[in-house]
Chain A
Amino acid sequence: EAGVVQSPRYKIIEKKQPVAFWCNPISGHNTLYWYLQNLGQGPELLIRYENEEAVDDSQLPKDRFSAERLKGVDSTLKIQPAELGDSAVYLCASSSLAGTYNEQFFGPGTRLTVL
């Protein structure tokens, strides 16, 4: 079984530039999560999707961050414009049957550096 796929693995951009991250969850997983992980900290949830619907985006800074999950499979997280403080690892995770206690499966992450 293929795991959660993320690309790119690394991204370096100048501040004020846009950037996008892509995630392909495990086949059949209807729930998809985007997390932010700052250095030395645990992941923090940005947004959660149930199929195509964003059911929890309370932690997403909507002035510059946006996300979509067309067709309920792949997802894209975008930052526009990026700021220095956005430098972090962006993790995508997926799980099946969000109403149960199933564990979440994480991708390798995208390490963003904003210069």
Chain B
Amino acid sequence: AQSVAQPEDQVNVAEGNPLTVKCTYSVSGNPYLFWYVQYPNRGLQFLLKYITGDNLVKGSYGFEAEFNKSQTSFHLKKPSALVSDSALYFCAVRISGGYNKLIFGAGTRLAVHP
């Protein structure tokens, strides 16, 4: 079955430190991967996507993600975390044959402490 997993319910990091939010996937065919962020009482906002090409994808707000085909992972990263980055982060994969149908992970809550 096609799926996406976010193994951490919560990630805690100190402001200024690098952060990583993990995502692994299982799809048939080429993976198309996305990261979204959700702030309280707001809808999901698109951060970045991997379709093809360079394994390191740069997105909004200084975030980037690294696609690793052998490990079927698409981890979200940022070199220096901000308190304002605290939010809920969702990884999503477009399932093959699904015509832009996305399957989302359960989400990871990022808490950045001053």
Residues of A near any B CB (own CB < 8 A) = 3-4, 6, 9, 31, 40-45, 48, 55-56, 91, 93, 95, 98-109
**B100 x A106 contact (CB < 8 A):** no
The interface residues of chain A lying within 8 Å CB-to-CB of B106 are 40-42
Cα of A95 to Cα of B49 in the assembled complex, Å: 14
Q: Is B29 an interface residue (CB 8 A)?
A: no
User: Quick one: CB contact mask for B13-40 with A, threshold 8 Å, 1 for yes?
Assistant: 0000000000000000000101010000
Interface contact B32-A109, CB-CB below 8 Å:
no
Chain A's nearest CB lies how many Å from the CB of B41?
Answer: 7
Count: A-B pairs, CB below 8 Å: 58
Name which residue of chain B comes closest to A98, CB basis.
Answer: B100
Cross-chain contact B45 with A101 (CB below 8 angstroms): no
Q: Is B67 interfacial (CB 8 A cutoff)?
A: no
- Chain A: CB-nearest residue to B51: A101
Q: A45 to B101, Cβ gap below 8 A?
A: yes
Flag if B43 contacts A4 (CB, 8 Å).
yes
Which residue of chain A is the closest to B34 with respect to CB atoms? A103
What DSSP secondary structure best describes chain B's contact surface? strand
List residues of chain A with CB within 8 A of the CB of B44.
43, 91, 93, 106
CB contacts (< 8 Å) of A101 on chain B: these are 32, 49, 51, 94, 100
User: Would you call A108 and B100 a contact (CB within 8 A)?
Assistant: no
The answer for the CA separation of A58 and B17 in the assembled complex, in Å, is: 44
Docked CA distance A97–B52 (Å):
18
**Pairs across A and B, CB under 8 Å, 12 listed:** A41-B106, A42-B92, A42-B106, A45-B101, A48-B101, A91-B43, A101-B32, A101-B49, A101-B51, A106-B44, A109-B42, A109-B43
Cα distance A43–B107 when bound, in Å? 9
CB-based nearest A residue for B48:
A103
Bound together, the chains give a CA A31 to CA B43 distance in angstroms of 17
Is residue B99 within 8 Å, beta carbon to beta carbon, of the partner chain?
Answer: yes
Q: Is B90 within 8 A of A42, CB to CB?
A: yes
CB distance from A26 to the nearest CB of B (A): 12
Contact of A42 among B42, B51, B100, B105 (CB under 8 A): B105
Asked if A45 contacts B100 (CB within 8 A), the reply is no
B36 — which chain A residues lie within 8 A by C-beta?
106
